Amino acid sequence: MKISVTEFFDILDVDKDNVGEITLTKTMLDKCIIDANISVVKFAAVSGIEYASMENGHRVAIEGKHLITTDEDVCETVTVRSNKWTEDNCRVVFYKTARGDRRISISGLRKYAKIGDKVALTFGSNGCLIINISRALTVINNSFVGASNGI
């Protein structure tokens, strides 16, 4: 049995409609420059940050946390939200370039993600959360495979 992204958000009790999702490229990780796609713009709006009314060159920063797991017993820990999930503080900056391009920057992202990973921005009980969906689902799905094989 494998868990999907939607099931993952259901387990975490996250409203999928209020999630910004980004698939990371080399440039995004190397230069910390991430275009704010539609889902990020919607997430920002839910956070009270409106790109439409933001002046070119303006920045808005909020505090966030990377939510990380490497524990293979996570299928149990996700549902009970045990201490097997760790957090690392970060800063999320929503901004418009001088030309008016909508961008976002997330501190510490290179530490927890690689090229091709899908990362989600959402809200939890303790504020803005950044979750590497690709890595979390790999850990979760590997634990399900191990459990079904009697490991």
- Residues 49-92 have pLDDT tens digits of 999 999 999 999 999 988 876 554 444 444 334 455 678 899 99
- pTM, two decimals, is 0.79
Evaluate whether residue 27 is within a structural domain.
yes
Total H helices, total E strands in the chain? 6, 7
Count of the separate structural domains present in the chain? 1
Domain interval for residue 79:
5-143
Evaluate whether residue 132 is within a structural domain.
yes
Evaluate whether residue 38 is within a structural domain.
yes
Evaluate whether residue 148 is within a structural domain.
no
The residue ranking higher by pLDDT, 26 or 74, is: 26
Among candidate residues 62, 58, 65, 116, the one with its CA nearest the CA of residue 90: 65
